[in-house]
């Protein structure tokens, strides 16, 4: 009973925050509502017993996406770019409400089919992890995760391709002007050690509990972004070999393990007796790549002359 009441409160906040984010009068207010909305989505995932998803949503959906949108608001304001106002469109609103109603009806008529818990639970021993989500990501559906890590690289190439010629080889993002003895610089020095610990712990714990390369990598990316915004650490040049090695470490390790599996009979198949070590190896490589790719995506293309 009290659980349903809590669910209803979360649902109400979720829908209200979404309406505010989409309908806010100002762009900045919309973005702020969107960040709050992301936190409510993460709470919804907690209520659905999807702790791995809640961690990813809080870190990526609310955190990094929020930074990305706020940065974009700043860029657009500096460029003096405007747009015509929203069209008041009652037929459009009615049509969208109709789509929602139909989707809601589809949700209510979902059949009580058995899920994939039983096959996942049966295959869990020997998969290299006791967290089913990690087993699915790195073993049972490893192909998805491999391609996803390559998608991140492809997108980063796309973002970097927008750099002006003169800036190529420079450092990504804008110059941060921070007072060296100020509050932000102090915060930027205080938090990274703790953030590093949390990020690494999330990766390590991911094979047994909720967590893993995506959640841990996002925390590490956030630490990097904070240090860069606080002027404590400079972003590396886009031509840096170390940076590029970190970016491709995950996909390369993943592919290498996959090819070794192919020699043993199945591409991306993990031998049960080695699976634990292999899963951890892939996780560590993926964490490096995900952390650096996400941070660089948020920083944007290099803009200052090299």
* Residues 209-228 as x/- pattern, contact with other proteins by CB under 8 A: -----x--------------
How far apart CA 117 and CA 221 sit, in angstroms, is: 32
How far apart CA 252 and CA 260 sit, in angstroms, is: 12
Is there binding between residue 283 and other proteins (CB under 8 A)?
no
Q: How far is the CB of 120 from other proteins (least distance, A)?
A: 5
Both structure tokens of 138 = 């790195």
Nearest to 76 by CA among 20, 28, 24, 29: 28
Those residues with Cβ within 8 angstroms of residue 2's Cβ, 6 or more apart along the chain or in another chain: none
Is there binding between residue 150 and other proteins (CB under 8 A)?
no
Stretch that binds other proteins, among 97-105, 236-244, 252-260, 269-277 (CB under 8 A): 97-105
Is there binding between residue 262 and other proteins (CB under 8 A)?
no
Q: How far is the CB of 263 from other proteins (least distance, A)?
A: 26
Phi/psi of residue 173, nearest 5 degrees: 85, 180
Is there binding between residue 252 and other proteins (CB under 8 A)?
no
Site for other proteins in 21-50 (CB under 8 A): 21-23, 27, 30-31, 34, 37-38, 41, 44-45, 47-50
Is there binding between residue 235 and other proteins (CB under 8 A)?
no
How far apart CA 235 and CA 210 sit, in angstroms, is: 30
Q: For other proteins, give the closer residue by CB, 152 or 288.
A: 152
Site for other proteins in 54-93 (CB under 8 A): 56-57, 60-61, 64-65, 68-69, 71-73, 75-76, 79-87, 89, 92-93
Q: How far is the CB of 81 from other proteins (least distance, A)?
A: 4
Nearest to 171 by CA among 108, 243, 252: 243
Nearest to 38 by CA among 70, 77, 6: 70
Site for other proteins in 119-138 (CB under 8 A): 120-121, 132-133, 135-137
Q: For other proteins, give the closer residue by CB, 98 or 272.
A: 98
Compute, in degrees rounded to 10, the torsion defined by CA atoms 249, 226, 205, 137: -50
Is there binding between residue 243 and other proteins (CB under 8 A)?
no
How far apart CA 177 and CA 185 sit, in angstroms, is: 10
**Among residues 112, 165, 181, 273, which is the contact residue for other proteins, using CB under 8 A?**
112
Q: How far is the CB of 87 from other proteins (least distance, A)?
A: 6
Nearest to 211 by CA among 59, 39, 66: 59
Is there binding between residue 181 and other proteins (CB under 8 A)?
no
Is the separation of the CB atoms in 212 and 129 below 8 Å? Answer: no
């Amino acid at each position: 009973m009290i659980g349903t009441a809590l669910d209803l409160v979360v649902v109400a906040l979720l829908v209200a925050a979404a309406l505010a984010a989409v309908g806010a009068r100002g762009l900045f207010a919309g973005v702020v509502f969107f960040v709050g909305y992301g936190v409510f989505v993460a709470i919804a995932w907690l209520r659905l017993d999807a702790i791995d998803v809640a961690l990813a949503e809080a870190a990526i959906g609310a955190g990094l996406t929020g930074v990305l949108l706020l940065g974009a608001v700043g860029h657009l304001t500096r460029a003096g770019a405007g747009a015509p106002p929203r069209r008041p469109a009652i037929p459009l609103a009615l049509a969208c409400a109709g789509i929602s109603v139909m989707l809601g009806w589809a949700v209510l008529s979902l059949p009580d089919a058995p899920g994939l818990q039983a096959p996942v639970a049966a295959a869990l021993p020997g998969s290299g992890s006791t967290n089913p989500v990690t087993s699915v990501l790195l073993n049972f559906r490893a192909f998805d995760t491999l391609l996803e890590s390559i998608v991140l690289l492809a997108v980063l190439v796309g973002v970097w391709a927008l750099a002006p010629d003169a800036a190529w080889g420079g450092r990504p993002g804008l110059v941060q002007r921070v007072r060296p003895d100020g509050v932000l610089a102090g915060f930027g020095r205080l938090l990274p050690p703790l953030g590093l610990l949390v990020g690494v712990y999330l990766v390590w714990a991911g094979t047994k509990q909720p967590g893993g390369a995506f959640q841990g990598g996002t925390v590490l990316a956030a630490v990097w972004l904070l240090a860069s915004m606080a002027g404590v650490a400079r972003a590396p040049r886009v031509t840096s070999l170390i940076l590029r090695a970190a970016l491709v470490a995950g996909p390369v390790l993943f592919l290498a393990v996959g090819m070794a599996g192919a020699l043993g009979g199945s591409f991306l198949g993990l031998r049960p007796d080695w699976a634990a070590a292999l899963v951890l190896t892939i996780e560590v490589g993926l964490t490096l790549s995900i952390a650096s790719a996400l941070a660089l995506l948020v920083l944007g293309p290099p803009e200052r002359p090299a």
